[in-house]
Structure 1
Amino acid sequence: MRPTRVGVFGLLGSGNLGNDGSLEAVLGYLRAEHPEAVVDALCGGPEAVTARYGIPATRLHWYRGEYRTASRAGAIAGKGLGKLVDAVRTAAWVRRHDVVIVPGMGVLEATLPLRPWGFPYALFLLCASGRLCGTRVALVGVGAAPIGDRATRALVRRSARLAAYRSYRDAQSRDALREMGVDTTRDPVHPDLAFALPAPQASTPPPGPPGPPGPVCVGVMDFHGGNDDRARAEEIHRRYLDGTTRFVRALAEDGRPVRLLTGDACDVPVAAAIRDAVGSPLVTAAEAGSLADLMKETAAAETVVATRYHNLVCALRTGTPTLALSYAAKSDALMDRMGLGAFCHPAREVDADRLLEQFRELEKRSAELRRTLAERNLTVAHQLARQFADLTEALFPAAGPAHAYRETP
């Protein structure tokens, strides 16, 4: 029998560490449970994916300027032609596979600015091609949220209906898709795939008299609101930047070392702006190239305050007390799942004084919260083992009874 041909699909290798972490978790599962599978990718950054993960990869879009604003006639024509070419390219790629997996990511949401003819159209081409070619397409541990734009909502709804398998990273995602008209009765909910990645153990204060306060990781983001906030995007960004800068300055004035974390290439200028505005040698920026790097940073911290969803995942996965600058319901749901629902602060309206109060309360309850996170992480590990077992049963029926995939501790 020939080996199973598995494709992975998404905005992978494009600079978003969370997306790549979800891919890494799925590749770990495939290599452990289906080592005979032949895997390749259709993705945003094929060179990066091949270099990092050792699998062949093809560029997601034929037109290389797909995600740049088109103002000239040539660019507009290139984008239009690209839509037609991508329909053929996607179908040809899909039909070469037995299974295609979309690993995690917020592929069914528009909590950040998004145009319908960008990734939503690409996802629709994938799922439609799967149905036409008889290839099983699986949306695994994905995020979903209510979508206001009618065209985007229609593409997302149709894509979900065409998929052969769906699971979600939280109950809110499943509810949002049901409200968009998709039957989710049989769709399971499991923790985010990135929790399956191995993580270093968080540092714990030594016994005895307390020493000087430890470092704080502050995860920042190039945040301009969501898809429905375009009219006030700059105002939202300015308020977020000002409030976060004031908070970091207050930490530095208290003598706390601060490590600024990012989760996407676009966040780096934000970290630099905050560091320059505070002007303290206590404030430094981490150069993380993967979720593993981020986990090392959060494990070494005494406390984490973060905006990006997968910055939160990394901190919680390492068992470090964490405060969320929440920009979407997915962040609130994640914090609640891990027992820290009381420690959320709105990213759209960062109030540095209120944030400092929440931060001090978080640190006061640090020992208790570390115990809570240790217990919740054990539960999450069992839930993810079920996710991967379900995936084997749904997509690899010839493999026989599913083994219990074991997360690396």
Structure 2
Amino acid sequence: MKVFATNRISASSKPDARVIAFFGLYGAGNLGNDAALTSARFAVQRHDPEAELVCVCFHPEVVRSEYGINAVPIHMSGPLPDAPSGPRLLRMVQRPLFELARWVAVYRFLRRTDLVIVPGTGILDDFGERPHRMPYHLFRWSLSAKLARTKFAFVNVGAGPIRHPVNRFLMKRAVRFSSYRSYRDDISRSYMSEIGASADDTPVMPDLVFGVTRPAGPTLPGSSPTIGLGVMAYQGWANDPVSGEGIFRSYIDNMSTIACRLLDKGYTVRVLIGETCDESAVDALLKSVRQRRDGDVPAGRLIAEPIDTMHDLLTQIAATDAVIATRYHNVVGALMMNRPVVSLGYAARFDEIMKSMGLGDYCHHAESIVPEAILADLDELLEKWDAFSPTVDNRNQQYLRELERQFESLIGPPVQPGVPAAILNGVGSR
């Protein structure tokens, strides 16, 4: 039975087809966010192939080009230009009218939409966020959906912390206005319950990224053992390049120490990223390693190849023996490919996903890295992985089944029952 049935006529070629919108931070270069969209999109298409899909995001032109689905701007302004123009006084007078036009445009869009899905991502925290950006957009779209009587669903999202009081006010109410919500871990559910946004018994479901297709078959490394080193342009929770400059320098210094120690021990180091902005961290890391070693880096032992998609990331992880990573979906990717992983996170969700896989003892914080402790954990994981691997494999398969059941309850039964075989590629392989 479909929880969200068609309640209006869409613009689709089939008059009874549902219009389903995906809402979030997509097309901006974050591999995990885009993978969550991919996972949700294919799940919806398996369960309702006739649905008309559209993405609401900051970069609609990128989504249209890369995903082949319709996309609209998150800040839609109707018939007006994107922003007021003219002298300052005129712009000040125009600004409230432009904002009203945006609300009207969103409402009219939602009146033609059956269901809005916010698929995964850590959209309910305020890492690097300002109130006028995503917190306000979430509030506007969720409230407008309620007024338009359109279902608005937070599906397996991450939440907390939300440190700015205005961000907390806006996000809390956005969740309250929604018609369905589920979280990707217990910490997210507990946090949103503590601030009064949702109930203690709100469902906890797997991260949607576990539902993307794995690369076919294992790709084990060649002549020397390979460690994936996932780096990030990390500048603290505020993600401010000015106040966070010292944090970034300290982080790169520690990561380059780890890289040099790995090279000294005979490992090949493969540098991984989780967002296009992390390329600056890759450049800083490579420069630091070469300076520390006076340019003496053995050929082919320090690898930094392009990573543009989650599939690229998983393919490169498949070419490693283990991973040390800062980005959340680098950690998730290692678990998906059944690789030993040491987490260097910056939020409680890192500890939560590692604990769920039986790896809670191998978590560290990005701002308090002790290279010797990281390398000791890596050695221990490599030695004991045969004991951990079956748990990670079983959890992966469990997550896939849970995601399939969830979309069946949300959308309806799939055209082809069961988890598609392609998604299972790599699960259990080592």
User: Normalised by the size of structure 2, how large is the TM-score?
Assistant: 0.84
Q: How does 1:10-159 map to 2 (within 5 A)?
A: 10-61=24-75, 83-110=99-126, 112-159=127-174
- Separation of aligned partners in 2, 1:273 and 1:246: 13
Contact 1:223–1:240, Cα closer than 8 Å, also in 2 = yes
SS of 1:130 mapped into structure 2? helix
Report Cα offsets for 1:229-256 as digits up to 9, x if no partner: 9995233222211111110111122221
Equivalent residue number for residue 419 of structure 2? 406
Q: How does 1:253-332 map to 2 (within 5 A)?
A: 253-279=264-290, 280=297, 281=299, 282-332=301-351
Task: From the superposition, tell whether residues 228 and 35 of structure 1 become closer, same or farther in structure 2 (CA, over 3 Å).
Answer: closer
Contact 2:220–2:320, Cα closer than 8 Å, also in 1 = no
- Separation of aligned partners in 1, 2:96 and 2:264: 53
Contact 1:41–1:55, Cα closer than 8 Å, also in 2 = yes
Contact 2:17–2:51, Cα closer than 8 Å, also in 1 = yes
- Separation of aligned partners in 1, 2:264 and 2:100: 56
Equivalent residue number for residue 68 of structure 1? none
1:95 Cα offset (Å) = 2.0
Equivalent residue number for residue 5 of structure 2? none
1:272 Cα offset (Å) = 1.2
Q: Which structure would you say has the larger Rg?
A: 2
Range that drifts further, 96-105 or 379-388: 379-388
1:17 Cα offset (Å) = 0.8
Range that drifts further, 226-235 or 8-17: 226-235
Q: Partner letter of residue 215 of structure 1?
A: T
Q: Partner letter of residue 253 of structure 1?
A: D
1:222 Cα offset (Å) = 1.0
Contact 2:189–2:200, Cα closer than 8 Å, also in 1 = no
Contact 1:6–1:39, Cα closer than 8 Å, also in 2 = yes
Q: How does 1:384-395 map to 2 (within 5 A)?
A: 384-392=403-411
Task: From the superposition, tell whether residues 129 and 332 of structure 1 become closer, same or farther in structure 2 (CA, over 3 Å).
Answer: same
SS of 1:348 mapped into structure 2? coil
Report Cα offsets for 1:378-408 as digits up to 9, x if no partner: 222222223222322xxxxxx5799865252
Unaligned segments of structure 2, at least 5 residues:
1-14, 78-87, 291-296, 425-430
Check if 1:383 corresponds to 2:394.
Answer: no
With CA pairs under 8 Å and 6+ residues apart, which has the higher RCO, 1 or 2? 2
Check if 1:217 corresponds to 2:239.
Answer: no
1:289 Cα offset (Å) = 1.4
SS of 1:300 mapped into structure 2? coil
Of 363, 388, 393, the match for 1:374: 393
Range that drifts further, 194-203 or 184-193: 194-203
Unaligned segments of structure 1, at least 5 residues:
64-72, 206-210, 393-398
Q: How does 1:124-273 map to 2 (within 5 A)?
A: 124-200=139-215, 201-203=217-219, 213-227=224-238, 233-273=244-284
* Structure 1 or 2: more helix by fraction: 1
Range that drifts further, 374-383 or 328-337: 374-383
1:79 Cα offset (Å) = 8.7
Range that drifts further, 9-18 or 222-231: 222-231
1:80 Cα offset (Å) = 7.9
Contact 1:95–1:129, Cα closer than 8 Å, also in 2 = no
- Separation of aligned partners in 2, 1:179 and 1:229: 28
Range that drifts further, 160-169 or 281-290: 281-290
Task: From the superposition, tell whether residues 171 and 82 of structure 1 become closer, same or farther in structure 2 (CA, over 3 Å).
Answer: farther
Task: From the superposition, tell whether residues 79 and 350 of structure 1 become closer, same or farther in structure 2 (CA, over 3 Å).
Answer: farther
Q: Partner letter of residue 177 of structure 1?
A: M
Contact 1:61–1:82, Cα closer than 8 Å, also in 2 = no
1:212 Cα offset (Å) = 5.7
- Separation of aligned partners in 2, 1:10 and 1:298: 26
Equivalent residue number for residue 293 of structure 2? none
- Identity among equivalent positions (%) equals 35
Task: From the superposition, tell whether residues 287 and 38 of structure 1 become closer, same or farther in structure 2 (CA, over 3 Å).
Answer: same
What is the number of equivalent residue pairs in this alignment?
Answer: 388
Report Cα offsets for 1:2-38 as digits up to 9, x if no partner: 2001111111111111110000001111111100100
SS of 2:55 mapped into structure 1? strand
Report Cα offsets for 1:47-92 as digits up to 9, x if no partner: 22112211111122359xxxxxxxxx79x97998875553333223
Q: Partner letter of residue 104 of structure 1?
A: G
- Separation of aligned partners in 2, 1:218 and 1:340: 18
Q: Partner letter of residue 144 of structure 2?
A: S
